[in-house]
Amino acid sequence: MRIGQNPAKSIDYVPQPARVTVALITYIPFLSGYYAQSLEVLKLCLQSLAQDASVPFDLMVFDNASCLEVRNYLLDCQTNGQIQYLVLSDKNVGKGGGWNFIFQAAPGETVAYADSDILFRPGWLSESLAILEAFPQAGMVTARPMRSPEAYYTTTLEWAQQYGGAKGGVELEQGNFIPWEVYLEHVTSLGTSEEQARQWYESRSDWRVKSLGVSAIIGAAHFQFTVRKAAIRPFLPFHMDRPMGQVRTLDEQMNQAGLLRLSTCQPLVKHLGNTLPFVAGGAANGTGLNPSLAAQSPVRGPRRGGAIALQRFYDLPWVKKILLRLYDRIFRLYH
């Protein structure tokens, strides 16, 4: 039975949500193999996020059933106030399930989503918001210039061509607006060789669009983007039955719905992947972040003949296939 009045009734003020909710999804099921450095990468991600206080935001983290060490770290961050909303899911509901939760529950009117392996550079959020302001038709804005597949920005291009010129107030240019170093930084973070990257870079060009004095590169990516909740709501819920690999749905839907897919002209976020960035001298990539988070060099020393031969053996397609299957089976056994 209730005795006395619930003191909660006397609370005459509850904090109102910030205009922007920054949301991350974490999934680090163990700290070995592919995920050996993922916790350190996550720390770097959150540390870089905390450095830019130019735009107030609430941080929401949706943990998709990570291991205990990662959860404890996130709980510590929640306790010390770095994370405002921490969602611990007992099961991996997939990236789609995480997105469904985030984009429906986030209290901010704008949501800046990022995978948990992203390094944020100063100004990333303010620049993204400036583009959203200057382009009211914008759907998603990524905070680094992207050369994403053309099929996913046909609507953006059509819109820019339609409103281009003095009449429409939109300027559209084609050229090489993404410097080679910026392009290389991203594609190599995905595990692409420099040779392959050079081929891709030389085979394409960029579209740059300008409105109300704000420039943006056409194209966006789903590893990090800022979106108005009202813009993404019609696409929810996403029906994705696998943890990953179906996220292109969002890109397709945005394009089909006539929403613009844009990115900043400067690389204000960096995809870290599953390994820590390395820079000679040990500093964490010139970001001003804690040097203790700098990685050991991923480049190995000179190899002996036996090791080279063994690596070549591992690289044989059929050997690699067997090893990957074994790796996958072990992963499935535990997760």
Partner 1 sequence: MRIGANPAKAGLPAYVPQELGVALITYIPLLEGYFKNSLEILTYQLQSLRASTTVPFDLLIFDNGSCPEAVAQLKTWQAEQKIDWLVLSKHNLGKAGAWNWIFAAMPNELICYADSDVLFRPGWLEASQAILQAFPQAGMVAAQPNFYDVLEGQGQAQQVLKDQAGYEWREYWPDKAVIDEFCLGIAASPEVAAPFYQKPLPVVVRLSAVHDGNQAVVGASHMQFIIPRAVARQVTPLPATRGLLRTETMALDNRVDQLGFLHLSTTQPYVFHMGNTLNERLLVEVRKVIKQDLAPRAITPTDQPVNRSWLYRGLSWLASQPRCKPRLMRVYNLLFQVLYTERK
Q: Which residues contact 118 (CB under 8 A, 6 or more apart)?
A: 45, 223, 224, 269, 270, 271, 272
Contact 22, 58 (CB under 8 A): yes
Q: Does 108 bind partner 1 (CB under 8 A)?
A: no
Using the rule CB under 8 A, which residue among 73, 101, 159, 207 binds partner 1?
Answer: 101
CB 214 to partner 1: min, Å: 29
Helix (H) or strand (E) holding 73: helix 68-79
What DSSP element (H or E) covers 196?
Answer: helix 194-203
Please identify, among the stretches 85-93, 131-139, 149-157, 193-201, the one whose residues bind partner 1 according to the rule CB under 8 A.
Answer: 85-93
Distance of CA 241 to the CA centre of its chain: 21
Q: Does 213 bind partner 1 (CB under 8 A)?
A: no
Residue numbers 246-285 binding partner 1 by CB under 8 A = 271-275, 277
Q: Least distance from C-beta 315 to partner 1, angstroms?
A: 13
Nearest to 289 by CA among 303, 306, 276: 276
Residues 22, 39, 57, 97: which binds partner 1 (CB under 8 A)? Answer: 97
Rounded to 10 degrees, what is the CA torsion of 286, 63, 52, 294?
-10
Alpha-carbon distances, residue 232 vs 99, 136, 251, 259 (angstroms): 10, 14, 11, 10
Looking at the Cβ atoms of 6 and 203, the one nearer to partner 1 is: 6
- Of the candidate spans 102-110, 127-135, 164-172, 175-183, the one that interacts with partner 1 by CB under 8 A turns out to be 102-110
Binding residues vs partner 1 (CB under 8 A): 1-17, 27, 33-34, 68, 75, 78-79, 81, 83-94, 96-97, 100-101, 104-105, 107, 117, 188-191, 237, 240-245, 271-275, 277, 298, 324, 327-328, 331-332, 335
